[in-house]
Structure 1
Amino acid sequence: MKTHYKTLIISDLHLGTSGSKAKELGRFLKLHTCETLILNGDIIDGWQLKKSGKWRRKHTRFFTRMLKMIEQDNTKVFYLRGNHDDFLDQILPLQIGNLHIQKDLLYESADKKYWITHGDIFDSVTSQFRWIAYLGDQGYTFLLWLNKWLNYHRRRRGLPYFSLSQYVKARVKSAVSYIDDFEQELAKMARAKGCDGIICGHIHKAENRMIDGIHYLNSGDWVETMSALAEDEAGNWQVIYYHEAGGQKAVPEQETETLPEQEQEAASKPADTAWAAGLKTVAFSAFLSPHASDPRKDTP
């Protein structure tokens, strides 16, 4: 049975990379319907596709699922530009039926107003020192590769999924400081725009909280945490997770098939994985906080 929401927001799918959980997102969307679907940036990873990324059939299937939502459920879709899909700058803004492709969005519901943006505009590293951003992207790609191998062994030991990049970001002082600054600056900009809240992605960290009177919402990502923002008919927002939506059995399957063949062969042999078992496991739970929103208006 499908769960219906007024609005669903996802970001950071990174289609074209091996870490993209396109298959899981497709299953997630089969379990949910919504009046409005907002794709908040980095849906297609143009940076990786220019280098070593590959477009796979499951990536195309995501867009097939999206088009079915438009056709069968009359879902209105907004695709907002992110830094990894900055190639969209060449066609913005564009509307084809119920599909809107644009830079950002002003989203209104009842007496609340939210500014929806991917968030990279506040990342001075990405906007001013692009070569450093690319270097950081390479490091993150390596962490994702290592994460697949680590979780392959964890599953063999009966241990739950572990997000290596989230572990690193939570313990590296500079990363924690960056995330805090990012959230604070977004909240300030929302207030300057006369909005009650800000909805973003970009940093791959799902969140639902108040910052100095501004409702801060982050949809997370579909590379590791597999999370989305959902608004019910009463205007309440929550972060929902794939593994809590009845699709958790598919995660091990997807990760196993993305392991390089030589790694699968090596992993099938006895190995000492005590170092992996010693790491703390991560249990993600939904963030619940009642706040509102609804009708849409394009940002001037």
Structure 2
Amino acid sequence: MKKRKIELAVISDVHLGTYGCHADELMTYLNSIQPKKLVLNGDIIDIWQFKKRYFPPSHLKVLKKIIGMASKGTEVFYITGNHDEMLRKFAYTSMGNFKIANKLVLNLDGKKAWIFHGDVFDVSIQNAKWLAKLGGYGYDLLILINSFVNWCLTKLGREKYSLSKKIKNSVKGAIKYINDFEETAGDLAIENNYDYVICGHIHQPKKELYENKHGKTMYLNSGDWVENLTALEYSFKRWKIYQYNHDKLSPFFMDEDLKEMDMNELIASITDKNDIGDIEVQTSEEENPSSVDKQGLSQDTDGM
């Protein structure tokens, strides 16, 4: 299989070690790409729900694949999330091409991309971690039940159905939480002059230009590999949401944005690499975003 060469791929919320993880599909995706940089934006291994009796070979293959990509030259950044927060004690550890961080800034073609998981905005995690963990177990059980329901629907020749999406879309509180999450991420990015803000955590893939009275930024969310099976890809100075169930292994250049590019612009975007590769990991207190007051959200960004 010929691999697609891309500048950057971002995946999050894989939840290895849980029944809902689609490890085989993720392996298919990882085998189809050859990124210069791979960002694992939190909750890759679900340490909250880790059980020795359930970590199948397909989940282990994903870890081996990622390590293999790093050994072959791909820069891999593991950004910690809430389900793998135990790794935060190793933040800013570097092992060859494999690096662990709590947040990351990348310079992409002269534009600054701010990447973090996003659990810092979750008030339930900040104030009642036991409640968040209980919710995690409930979510995993719901996904397990949903898998059985979808198996039955497939046997009957009917379309698959997402119970969790139905619940999220029907509960006003869930919708408000997602909207507040995106608004807060966008406001902080604009305040700190970031061109892109890239999150995970809420399992909602999205690419949207966010604006307020102070400016604008591109909000991106990589989604998850439990329900949506999505990733973010950056190449040719363009962002794309890769959707496994729709795109399969379709090439990046089939993106509509690229079809509209002038040939000279396309050639220039491929050959002009002066800005690609400049990496900056936020460690100084001076670059930490200031707090904002958003209803229902935690503003302690220092732990990000």
TM-score (norm 2): 0.80
Give the CA deviation at 1:169. 0.9
Q: Report the Cα offset of residue 163 of structure 1.
A: 2.0
- What amino acid sits opposite 2:26 in the alignment? L
The CA deviation at 1:71 is 2.7
Counterpart for residue 22 of structure 1: 23
Instruction: State the shift of 1:135 in Å.
Output: 2.3
1:33-44 equivalent positions in 2, closer than 5 A: 33-44=34-45
Query: Which of 218, 222, 225 is equivalent to 1:219?
Result: 222
- Unaligned 5+ segments in structure 2 are 259-268, 270-274, 284-304
Q: Residue type of the partner of 2:55?
A: W
Q: 1:289 to 1:180 in 2, by over 3 A?
A: farther
3-state SS, counterpart of residue 168 of structure 1: helix
SS in 2 for 1:178: helix
Q: Where does 1:124-163 land on structure 2 (aligned, <5 Å)?
A: 124-163=123-162
> By how many angstroms is 1:145 displaced?
1.4
Counterparts of 1:176-187 in structure 2, within 5 Å, are 176-187=175-186
Matches within 5 A, 1:72-151: 72=72, 74-151=73-150
- Helix, strand or coil: the match of 1:187? helix
Q: Does 1:65 align with 2:68?
A: no
3-state SS of 2:40 partner: strand
CA distance in 2, matches of 1:245, 1:180: 26
The 2-side partners of 1:135 and 1:205 are apart by: 21
- State the number of aligned residues: 259
Please give the alpha-carbon distance, in whole angstroms, between the structure 2 residues aligned to 1:289 and 1:245: 15
* Secondary structure class of the residue paired with 1:198: strand
Superposed displacement of residue 121, structure 1: 0.8
1:195 alignment partner in structure 2: 194
Provide closer, same or farther for how the CA distance between residues 171 and 139 of structure 1 changes in structure 2, counting only shifts above 3 A: same
Match for residue 14 of structure 2?
A: 13
Structure 1, unaligned runs of 5 or more: 249-285
- Write the distance in 2 (CA, Å) between the matches of 1:147 and 1:138: 14
CA contact (8 A) 2:77 2:101 kept: yes
* Cross-structure match for 2:244: 242
Whole-angstrom CA distance in 1 between matches of 2:115 and 2:184: 14
Residue in structure 1 matched with residue 232 of structure 2 by the alignment: 229
Change (3 A) 1:4 1:247: closer
CA RMSD of aligned residues (A): 2.2
Contact preservation (8 Å) 2:6, 2:33 = yes
| Kept in 2: contact 1:239–1:287 (CA 8 A) | no
On the 8 A contact 2:114/2:196 being kept in 1, the answer is: yes
- Secondary structure of the residue aligned to 1:17 is coil
Supply the AA of the counterpart residue of 1:23.
D
Distance 1:247 1:196, change over 3 A: closer
d(CA) in 2 for partners of 1:82 and 1:10? 12
Letter in 1 for 2:23: A
| Counterpart residue identity of residue 60, structure 1 | L
CA–CA distance in structure 2, aligned partners of residues 95 and 235 of structure 1 = 27
Match of 1:296, SS state, is: strand
Provide closer, same or farther for how the CA distance between residues 207 and 288 of structure 1 changes in structure 2, counting only shifts above 3 A.
Answer: farther
Answer whether contact 1:237 1:289 (CA < 8 A) is retained: no
Structure 2 residue 39 is the aligned partner of structure 1 residue 56: no
Q: What is the percent sequence identity of the aligned residues? A: 35
Q: How far 1:97 sits from its partner (Å)?
A: 0.4
Q: What residue is the counterpart of 1:3 in the other structure?
A: 4
The code of the aligned residue for 1:39 comes to: L
Once the two structures are superposed, residues 199-231 of structure 1 have per-residue CA deviations (whole angstroms, 9 ceiling, x without a partner) of 000000100001112200000000111000001
Following superposition, the deviation at residue 128 of structure 1 comes to 1.7
Q: Distance in 2 between matches of 1:53 and 1:186?
A: 37
Task: Note the C-alpha offset of 1:160.
Answer: 3.0
CA contact (8 A) 2:19 2:140 kept: no
Does the 8 Å contact 2:15/2:44 carry over to 1? yes
